Chains A and B, each alone.
Chain A
Amino acid sequence: MSEAATARSGGAAWLNVALTLLLTGVLFNLFCLVSGSAPITVYRALVSTTIASPYGLAQLLFKATPYLFLGVAAALAFSAGQFNIGLEGQLLVGSLAMGIAGVMLPPGTPGLIAVALLCLVAMLAGAAWAMIPAFLKHRFSAPEVMTSIMTNFIAALAAGLLLKPFAVSESTHTAAVPKAFMFAAIDRLIPATKGAQLSTAFLLGLLVVAGAHWLLFRTRFGFEWRAFGANPRAARLYGVETRRLMFLSFAISGALAGLAACVYVLGAKGFHEDGFSGGIGFLALGVALLAKNRPLLVVPAALLFGLISYGSLAINAHVPKEMTDILTAVIMAAAVITSAKAKR
């Protein structure tokens, strides 16, 4: 594999991330001044409540965890040229399947086997849901951007409906899965983080990142995957089974989106709850954008989104929460601008 080329463009990608952060910083300062707070006060609050305290840091990492899975899911699909905008729906379907299966599995099942089984169920559910836009694209040449967006809304409504028979009465969530099926929480290892929702799901997320990087840049299959994304016509003419790859890219992307449910169902909450995701399946598209579809760069991008997500709560007193939503939008815009500049 042409290591040097990969490294070279990787360097350019890092530079983009740095530029994006710089632009974001400048704009953030402006926001603070506009809302009447000295930027330094806001920064101090941000730092003291997030990275400076074990609890804050753990919460930041917890918020970043789903973005590892979803960011990689988006990056993989985009690398194959397939615009899977249905991550939110795939996550919901995966979460529902995981929540229900978690309750139905005999409570005596050994923990490790249960975790593996439940993860598999969520992945299968996410992948199956992603097959809808893939099939429509294959059969009717329907643009996947449109169809996959639609599957999000269908998933949200269908998941709410399907949840009913399994929901704990007077609630919109499933019963909790047995403690033995859940990931280890951080406060069991580090008591100072008591109450934080971070779990070993974070490590699984890093594993997914490493696996995706290995697949894309170290295997023949990954090379064909990227070639398909770069020029599908050339890929087909020069021997890549493009139809199979189209379905596979949706399946793998959907499976990882479904797997992201483990952060909540087997981590923070212990059950599936209606409306738990709050649109992170959409925000994850921004993570992939910021990471320029490179799995390794998904890590810093996910951390940044985690910081914004948790930090916005921490600095609420100084800057209105809406400001941080604007900030997220600014980061995405900055990412688009800097990467467009790099292309020229």
Chain B
Amino acid sequence: MTSLALAHVKKAFGGRPVLEDVTFSVAAGECVGLCGENGAGKTTLLRIIMGLERPDGGEVRTTASLGMVHQHFSLVPALTVAENVWLGREPMRRLSFDRDAAAAQTVALAKRLGMTIDPQAVVEDLSVGQKQRVELLKALRTETELLLLDEPTAVLGPQDTDAFLELLQTLKSRGIAIVLVTHKLKEIARVCSRAVVLHKGRIVADQAPTLAALPALADAMVGGGGNGEKALAPRVPRASAPSAEVRVQLAGVGTGELSDASLTVRRGEIMGVAGVEGNGQEALFRVIVGLDAPARGTLSLDGKPAPASPAKLRALGVRAIASDRHIDAVLPHMSAGENARLGHVTSDAAIREAMERFDVRPLDPDLAIESFSGGNQQKIMFARELGGAASLIVANQPTRGIDFLARDRIWSALAALADAGASVVVISSDTDELRALSDRMAVMYRGKIGEALAIGEWTDEKLGAAMAGA
């Protein structure tokens, strides 16, 4: 039985074709991986399947009931699990919301899907992995037959990702058809029977994602050219080794979620900070870039106390990549060029050059930031920050949701800055990223930073244990 069938789907925005002749289908109980670069048309395709966008041509047939999990959580933090799951479709007793029924139905739903979850738990107290499970329950609350997942593991650590992928296997066995949109080809290889690759709005590959086929699939994603192996996150080459000179020192820093956090970063060094999200990474970022002053302990830069002011720190060459660009970085309704200008790049020529360096597409500084795909917006944020000289770069989840060629450019740019003597702190929940990039790595757990070891010393077991707090 076919749960989703697309035939010759076409879509253009303002004369610019986004999708061309897209044809594929998903059978019940099948999981199809959908991948492609930023701006390849994945999000538009999902919106068309959801019925949020009307195709210009072609035909879309779906089963009656479909659910979607978006890249960003769409949960109400102050409500309980059951309230979130049934929001908008609340079981009623006369005129009031029947909370008991909602809780009971949540437990039953979770049990059917092989999950355990406390329906009375308040969502803001949950871990990221648990939140993602709530999102999934919400998407599956109405006998859903087709499930659309947009980068569902982008926020998850390795353990949570494993558990999530296991869950998808269960859903498949229950006859649910799944479309999994992700940049992570390894995940597609684990749970999908087919990988559909979009490039510039066209399907360029539709085949079984065996491990052997991954480089070819990756190559297809970027339109050929033999860059496929970069999808597997190889170690980024470096021209010079870190010096012994310490640039950044946190000594017993406490503020917000940070408690007694200590870390030293040397000149020319890339320091990776691993950890499941929500263990104080945001507080660490805020302290180093000067948004928060340490309540206890000290932060010093080149041996001197660092001023707790982003403006003053920027003058000293500190650069920041915020984890949530919509909240902390993007200037809405302003052009790409103006967004880039907020950094320290000032001339039109320099802005264009920086955008070109990070392969921003389309390369038009006058377009409003909203006209760019999420990945390209992130590239613009890098163009803003890495366009000129820098002495310390703090990047929080720098390549989340970014395709691998763009990711490679960003990694190379960070490595080049480190080679030139800058210090780089990369905070990430993506261990592949940290393995590819870091000289040393430390793990954050409950507001503390563990011992920083050379990247080669971190075995998978050791890293997993540290991230779980063992």
A184 at the interface (CB under 8 A from B): no
A241 at the interface (CB under 8 A from B): yes
Interface pick from B70-78, B223-231, B330-338: B330-338
Give A226 to B129 CA distance when docked, in angstroms: 38
B192 at the interface (CB under 8 A from A): no
B289 to A: closest C-beta gap in Å? 6
Per the 8 Å Cβ criterion, residues 132-186 of A in contact with B are: none
Please give, as numbers and ranges, the residues of chain B lying within 8 Å of A241 by CB-CB distance.
Answer: 311
On whether the beta carbons of A226 and B334 are closer than 8 Å, the reply is: yes
B461 at the interface (CB under 8 A from A): no
Give A1 to B340 CA distance when docked, in angstroms: 11
On whether the beta carbons of B329 and A237 are closer than 8 Å, the reply is: yes
On whether the beta carbons of B335 and A5 are closer than 8 Å, the reply is: yes
A233 at the interface (CB under 8 A from B): yes
B389 at the interface (CB under 8 A from A): no
Give A170 to B330 CA distance when docked, in angstroms: 59
Give A38 to B23 CA distance when docked, in angstroms: 61
On whether the beta carbons of B330 and A231 are closer than 8 Å, the reply is: yes
B366 at the interface (CB under 8 A from A): yes
B342 at the interface (CB under 8 A from A): yes
On whether the beta carbons of A240 and B328 are closer than 8 Å, the reply is: no
Contact of B384 among A226, A236, A238 (CB under 8 A): A238
Contact of B329 among A1, A5, A9, A234 (CB under 8 A): A234
Give A115 to B342 CA distance when docked, in angstroms: 39
Dominant secondary structure at the A interface: helix
On whether the beta carbons of A234 and B342 are closer than 8 Å, the reply is: yes
Contact of A237 among B291, B338, B368 (CB under 8 A): B291
Please give, as numbers and ranges, the residues of chain A lying within 8 Å of B289 by CB-CB distance.
Answer: 237
On whether the beta carbons of A8 and B366 are closer than 8 Å, the reply is: yes
Per the 8 Å Cβ criterion, residues 228-264 of A in contact with B are: 230-231, 233-241
Please give, as numbers and ranges, the residues of chain A lying within 8 Å of B310 by CB-CB distance.
Answer: 236-239
Using a Cβ–Cβ cut-off of 8 Å, how many residues does chain B contribute to the interface with A?
30
Please give, as numbers and ranges, the residues of chain B lying within 8 Å of A4 by CB-CB distance.
Answer: 366
A237-B334 contact, Cβ under 8 Å, with A2-B348, A2-B365:
no
A223 at the interface (CB under 8 A from B): yes
On whether the beta carbons of B342 and A233 are closer than 8 Å, the reply is: no
Give A343 to B197 CA distance when docked, in angstroms: 33
Please give, as numbers and ranges, the residues of chain B lying within 8 Å of A237 by CB-CB distance.
Answer: 289, 291, 310, 320, 322, 328-329
Give A220 to B346 CA distance when docked, in angstroms: 9
Contact of B338 among A8, A223, A233, A240 (CB under 8 A): A223
A227 at the interface (CB under 8 A from B): yes
Interface centre among A230, A233, A234, by most chain B C-beta atoms within 10 angstroms, is A234
Nearest residue in B to A230 (C-beta to C-beta)? B331
Give A227 to B334 CA distance when docked, in angstroms: 8
On whether the beta carbons of B341 and A233 are closer than 8 Å, the reply is: no
B314 at the interface (CB under 8 A from A): yes
On whether the beta carbons of B291 and A2 are closer than 8 Å, the reply is: no
B236 at the interface (CB under 8 A from A): no
Of all A-B residue pairs in the complex, the 10 with the closest CB atoms, nearest first, are A5-B335, A239-B314, A5-B366, A2-B337, A230-B331, A4-B366, A239-B311, A2-B335, A238-B342, A2-B366
12 other A-B residue contacts (CB within 8 Å) besides A2-B348, A5-B367, A9-B333:
A2-B337, A9-B368, A226-B334, A227-B331, A233-B328, A234-B322, A234-B331, A236-B291, A238-B329, A238-B343, A238-B384, A239-B310
